C-alpha cells in the first residue's frame, strides 16, 4: 500500500524546439520517462517500477503537457454552474467565452470556480489553434524509381497561443510544463538525477509523431520542486491528465471522457489491424473531481491487453481547489 505521507512533486519546465501536431498527454510523457529510466538504470529495474505502479505499491502520477503557468479550463463544470444560475442570454455569452479558452492562469482558477461568469474578464488565456499543413513526399527518390508522382498529403498541427487583454493580442507559446509526483525513496532520487542529466546534456524528448521532421520535440529547461499539490483539505480537484478512475465520486463530479482504441504495435510491421479492437475510456484533463479516497490513492494503472510486462498508465495529477462552491 502507498505511503501517503512522503510524496514529492516536481514541475518539469520544457521548451518546444519546433512545431507540434499535438500536446503530449500524461500517458505519452510517462512512456518517455520509463524509457529514459530504463536507459539510465536497466530494463529490469524499469519493469519492476512499472509493475509496482500497477500494484499500487508505489505512487507515481504525471500530468499532461501544459502551457507554463496555466491549467486546463474546467469547461463542463463552468457550463453546468452557469446554466443553473444565469439567464439564458448570459449563458450563451459565457459559453462563447468558454469555447475560446483552453487554459487559464493557475492563480485565476479559484476566482473562476467561485464565479463562472468571471470567465468573460479572465486574461490572459491560452487557446490551441489547429491547422492543416500540406506536404509532398517525393516517392521517386524514396523508392529510387523515376517517374513516380509526388504524394501530396495534409498533416494536422497545433499552435498554443496566449491571448492578452481585451484587445486580444496574440503571442505564440513555446514554453510548457508537466508535473511529476513520486514517492520518496531510491526511485525518486534516480529520477531526479536522470532528469538533471537530461537537462545538462540538452537531451531532446520525442513526444509525438514525425519527430524526424522536427515536430513534437522538447528539451528540459528547468526542474522545480513544488508544493502546489499538497492541499489536504480540498473538497474538489481539477484533473490534469489521462485518469483511469479509482476513488472518484461519479455522481458529484463533472467529467469529460476520452475513449481511445488500442492495437498492438509490432516493429517493423507496424500496427496490427487483425487484432480485435479494444477501447479504453479515460477522464480527461479539465474534469472536476470529488473524491472518495485520499487524493494520493486516486487513479489506477491496468495491465496492457497486449503485453503482460506493460501497463496502461492512468495515474493522473490532480490539482486541489480549496474553496467549496454552492453549485456542487
Whole-number pLDDT of residue 90: 77
Whole-number pLDDT of residue 264: 55
Higher-confidence position of 249 and 306: 249
Higher-confidence position of 279 and 5: 279
pLDDT, mean over the chain: 85
State yes or no: cis peptide before 268, omega within 30 of 0: yes
Q: How many C-beta neighbours within 10 Å does residue 311 have?
A: 20
Q: What is the mean pLDDT of residues 151-174?
A: 84
Q: State the pLDDT confidence band at 149, using cuts at 50, 70 and 90.
A: low
Share of the chain above pLDDT 90, in %: 59
Q: What is the mean pLDDT of residues 23-51?
A: 95
Question: What are the CA-CA distances from residue 302 to residues 54, 124, 203 (Å)?
Answer: 6, 38, 30
Any idea which of 92-106, 242-256, 312-326 has the lowest mean pLDDT?
Answer: 312-326
Tens digits of residue pLDDT in 251-260: 999 999 988 7
Q: State the pLDDT confidence band at 138, using cuts at 50, 70 and 90.
A: low
DSSP H stretches of helix in 7-74: 26-40, 43-54
Q: What is the mean pLDDT of residues 292-315?
A: 85
Distance CA 23, CA 29 (A): 10
Higher-confidence position of 62 and 89: 62
Q: What is the mean pLDDT of residues 17-42?
A: 95
Tens digits of residue pLDDT in 225-275: 998 886 667 889 999 999 998 999 999 999 999 887 766 544 444 444 555
For the whole prediction, is pTM greater than 0.85?
yes
Amino acid at each position: 500500500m502507498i505511503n501517503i505521507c512522503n510524496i514529492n512533486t516536481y514541475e518539469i519546465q520544457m521548451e518546444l524546439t519546433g512545431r507540434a501536431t499535438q500536446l503530449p498527454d500524461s500517458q505519452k510523457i510517462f512512456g518517455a520517462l520509463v524509457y529514459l529510466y530504463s536507459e539510465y538504470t536497466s530494463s529490469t529495474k524499469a519493469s519492476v517500477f512499472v509493475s509496482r505502479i500497477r500494484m499500487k505499491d508505489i505512487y507515481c502520477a504525471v500530468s499532461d503537457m501544459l502551457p507554463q503557468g496555466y491549467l486546463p479550463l474546467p469547461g463542463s463544470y463552468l457550463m453546468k454552474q452557469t446554466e443553473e444560475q444565469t439567464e439564458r442570454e448570459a449563458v450563451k455569452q459565457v459559453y462563447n467565452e468558454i469555447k475560446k479558452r483552453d487554459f487559464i492562469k493557475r492563480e485565476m482558477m479559484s476566482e473562476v470556480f467561485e464565479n463562472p461568469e468571471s470567465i468573460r474578464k479572465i486574461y490572459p488565456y491560452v487557446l490551441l489553434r489547429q491547422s492543416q499543413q500540406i506536404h509532398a513526399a517525393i516517392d521517386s527518390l524514396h523508392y529510387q524509381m523515376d517517374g513516380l508522382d509526388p504524394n501530396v498529403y495534409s498533416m494536422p498541427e497545433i499552435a498554443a497561443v496566449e491571448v492578452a487583454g481585451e484587445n486580444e493580442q496574440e503571442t505564440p507559446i513555446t514554453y510548457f510544463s508537466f508535473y511529476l509526483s513520486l514517492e520518496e525513496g531510491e526511485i525518486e532520487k534516480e529520477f531526479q538525477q536522470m532528469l538533471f542529466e537530461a537537462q545538462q546534456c540538452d537531451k531532446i524528448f520525442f513526444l509525438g509523431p514525425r519527430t524526424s521532421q522536427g515536430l513534437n520535440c522538447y528539451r528540459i529547461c528547468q526542474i522545480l520542486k513544488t508544493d502546489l499539490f499538497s492541499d489536504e483539505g480540498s473538497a474538489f480537484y481539477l484533473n490534469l491528465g489521462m485518469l483511469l478512475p479509482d476513488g472518484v465520486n461519479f455522481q458529484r463530479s463533472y467529467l469529460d471522457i476520452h475513449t481511445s482504441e488500442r492495437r498492438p504495435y509490432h516493429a517493423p510491421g507496424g500496427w496490427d489491424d487483425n487484432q480485435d479492437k479494444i477501447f479504453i475510456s479515460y477522464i480527461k484533463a479539465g474534469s472536476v473531481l470529488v473524491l472518495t479516497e485520499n487524493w494520493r490513492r486516486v487513479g489506477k494503472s491496468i495491465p496492457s491487453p497486449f503485453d503482460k510486462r506493460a501497463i496502461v498508465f492512468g495515474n493522473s495529477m490532480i490539482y486541489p481547489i480549496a474553496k467549496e462552491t454552492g453549485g456542487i
